[in-house]
Amino acid sequence: MAQQMEIICVGNELLIGKVVNTNAQWLAKRITTLGLSVNRITVIGDSVKEISAAIREAVRHKPQFIITTGGLGPTFDDKTLEGIAKALSRPLEVNPQALKMVEEKYRRYVEEGRIEKIELTPPRVKMAKLPAESNPLPNPVGTAPGVITKSNGVTIIALPGVPSEMEAIFDKSVAPLIKRAAGNVTFYETSIDVDEIMESDMAPLIDRVIHDNPYVYVKSHPSRTGEGKPHLELHLSTTAENSTTAKNRVSKALIQITELAQMKGGKTKPSKTK
């Protein structure tokens, strides 16, 4: 049985539509593929009050993991760690290991000729101030470390908002934790395109397939072709204790939905995208 996961994305730029929230999509896809389930995704602004409230609420839900993105940098609007510290009623303090990571990064920048000297200014030290009882996660791409801590049995992981940094830290330090938590659980998915049948006509057929295949989730994505004819993409997915069971479940449902759609006059073919 897949465990719950919550994602909290921090940044005013997300709320005003300046930046597309690709981090949430990327994380949700990776987490699901690794065998856990995302229960909720929340987007909030750069406010300590909002961040702390969102963390407290998420912790009350008792997911196995909470992942935040954004707000770990050196500027005034990077407030995620302050918000986490407030939510957990812990002081924000310089973490020696995190400070060493930041210092080593600036040493490398000097060697690369990007800056002239190593100077741990207050904004740079800010990236090493973590909630007490937290540990830094190495950032292979950027400067600010990720952060991991625990509260009431919930693992909270803070990642940068820059996609390349977020993805690098996730793959190196977070993915192994999630995979270990998921155990042998496997996610499997496939999609088919159905043409020349309306979504309203497919609805009872989908209901029947879901009834006959209770462990398979079927989602319809309607659109229209260039000729204005109805077109559906049906996405089928499941999470099971092993890959064979997962594939067999989806295959059985896929055969049934294909046969039912064709009996209704629909034309089906494998979808080009999953």
Q: What is the CATH number of the domain that holds 235?
A: 3.30.70.600
Question: How many angstroms separate the Cα of 219 from the Cα of each of 30, 35, 63, 111, 236?
Answer: 19, 19, 24, 52, 7
Rounded CA separation 151/66 (Å): 10
Q: Are residues 62 and 193 in the same domain?
A: no
Specify whether the CB–CB gap between 155 and 12 falls below 8 A. no
Q: Does residue 105 sit in the same domain as residue 118?
A: yes
> Where among 151, 182, 213 does a domain terminate?
182
**pLDDT for 97 beyond 70:** yes
How high is the mean pLDDT of the chain?
93
Residues 162 and 86 both lie in one domain: yes
Q: How far apart are CA 217 and CA 57, in angstroms?
A: 27
Q: How many whole angstroms from its chain centre is CA 47?
A: 21
Span 114-133, average pLDDT: 93
Write down which residue in 182, 212, 246 finishes a domain. Answer: 182
Residues 81 and 19 in one domain: yes
Q: What contacts 144, CB < 8 A, 6 or more positions away?
A: 72, 73, 74, 78, 102, 127, 160, 165
Whether 161 and 264 map to the same domain: the answer is: no
Name the band, by pLDDT with cuts 50, 70 and 90, for residue 2.
very low
Q: How far apart are CA 21 and CA 41, in angstroms?
A: 11
pTM assigned to the model = 0.86
Do residues 200 and 168 both lie within one domain? no
Please tell me the predicted confidence (pLDDT) of residue 159.
98
Do 153 and 210 have their domain in common?
A: no
CA dist 15 and 8 (Å) reads 13
| 94, 217: one domain | no
Residues 172, 101 share a domain = yes
pLDDT digits (tens, 9 = 90+) for 30-84: 999 999 999 999 999 999 999 999 999 999 999 999 999 999 999 999 999 999 9
Domain shared by 73 and 178, yes or no:
yes
The count of structural domains within the chain is 2
Q: What is the mean pLDDT of residues 247-266?
A: 95
Looking at residue 1, its pLDDT comes to 44
Q: Pairing relation of β-strands 65-69 and 154-159?
A: parallel
| Lowest mean pLDDT, pick from 103-107, 165-169, 238-242 | 238-242
Query: Are residues 195 and 115 both part of a single domain?
Result: no
- Give me the CATH number covering residue 119: 3.40.980.10
Look at residues 182, 209, 243 and tell me which one is the last residue of a structural domain: 182
Using the predicted structure, report yes or no on whether residue 109 has a pLDDT greater than 50.
Answer: yes
| Structural domain boundaries enclosing 86 | 4-182
Same domain (yes/no): 120, 210: no
273 has a pLDDT exceeding 70 = no
